[in-house]
Amino acid sequence: MTSATSLPPRAGRHCHNVINPFHSTHYFSPDLHDELAKIGIGSRSAGYFAVRGAAMGAVGPGTITATFYNFSHSLVSRHVPAVWSVASPETVLAARLRAADTTLRRLLGDALLESPEMAEAAELALRAAEAGTRHARPLFASHADLPVPDAPHLAYWHAASLLREHRGDGHLMALLDAELDGLEALVTHNASGRGMSHLGIMKTRGWSQEDWTEAQERLRGRGLLDAEGELTEAGHQLRKDLEDTTDRLDRAPYEHLGAEGVARLTEIAGGFTTAAMEAGAFPAEMFGK
């Protein structure tokens, strides 16, 4: 049974959709690779596992696979826990913050980062994140234990990270309930036209083409994919239900902020994300079918 909400339909999702790219800019940035190389981490896969997992401490491959969900465990195991012998989680977190700062300054410029709107976005997003729930949300909870940076643009980036991980943790609950494993989740999201491209998945997630084909066959067996690999009506309904469930599980931060605050944060965040995208923050070949 869905509880009553004071927000317009999908207002939280719309807000997330323009906040999340602000956080994600550093994952696609040469600045992150440069900062990690300085501390001895040259592999992009090892770097991703380290920067996103460092808030949880020097965890093992099982924890990374569980919390990241759609990466091949064999890929994770090639880099974790070995990466922690190269750089401690604390060293990685400091490098990540430096990379985020450099990337945002390069993409948006100092004037925008020092604008009143950036300070307002940080205040609104941090207020929303206050209402995030820690139980059963390991990535959100661990990031919530980190200090808030002083600079407004980094405070906003930190808040965007919290809101991203809060929704992400909830989304994994929805995927598990829908009985989709990590690769099946990727295949269905790709088939929807909204997820990472097949090229992007193959380059970053550690799955083989054989793995992909086998996942497609399992989904066909459930009536979720057709012979051409497109979503069936049932597949489209499943993806819709997944997002609706994720919205419900992610409602608390946006309810806490209120309809007016969510609308304002969506407006400001949209401007920042548009500017970052126009500056070339994301490689087009990594997204869509």
Q: What mean pLDDT do residues 194-217 have?
A: 94
What average pLDDT does the structure give for the chain? 96
Q: What is the pLDDT of residue 289?
A: 60
Q: What is the pLDDT of residue 2?
A: 46
* pLDDT above 60 for 154: yes
Q: What is the pLDDT of residue 284?
A: 74
| pLDDT tier for residue 10 given thresholds of 50, 70 and 90 | very high
pLDDT in tens, 44-62: 999 999 999 999 999 999 9
* pLDDT above 80 for 287: no
More confident residue, 141 or 284: 141
Q: What is the pLDDT of residue 194?
A: 87
Q: What is the 3-state secondary structure (H, E, C) of the chain?
A: CCCCCCCCCCHHHHHHHHHHHHHHHHHHCHHHHHHHHHCCCCCHHHHHHHHHHHHHCCCCHHHHHHHHCCCCHHHHHHHCCHHHHHCCHHHHHHHHHHHHHHHHHHHHCHHHHCCHHHHHHHHHHHHHHCCCCCCCCHHHHHHHCCCCCCCHHHHHHHHHHHHHHHHHHHHHHHHHHCCCCHHHHHHHHHHCCCCECHHHHHHHCCCCHHHHHHHHHHHHHCCCECCCCCECHHHHHHHHHHHHHHHHHCHHHHHHHHHHHHHHHHHHHHHHHHHHHHCCCCCHHHECC
* pLDDT above 50 for 262: yes
Q: What mean pLDDT do residues 92-98 have?
A: 98
* pLDDT above 90 for 76: yes
| pLDDT tier for residue 27 given thresholds of 50, 70 and 90 | very high
* pLDDT above 60 for 4: no
Look up residue 175 and give its two tokens. 């995927």
Q: What is the pLDDT of residue 155?
A: 98
Q: What mean pLDDT do residues 61-81 have?
A: 98
Q: What is the pLDDT of residue 11?
A: 97
Q: What is the pLDDT of residue 195?
A: 84
pTM: 0.95
* pLDDT above 80 for 265: yes
* pLDDT above 50 for 64: yes
10 Å Cβ neighbour count for 34? Answer: 13
| pLDDT tier for residue 283 given thresholds of 50, 70 and 90 | confident
* pLDDT above 50 for 176: yes
Percentage above 70 pLDDT, the chain: 97
* pLDDT above 90 for 286: no
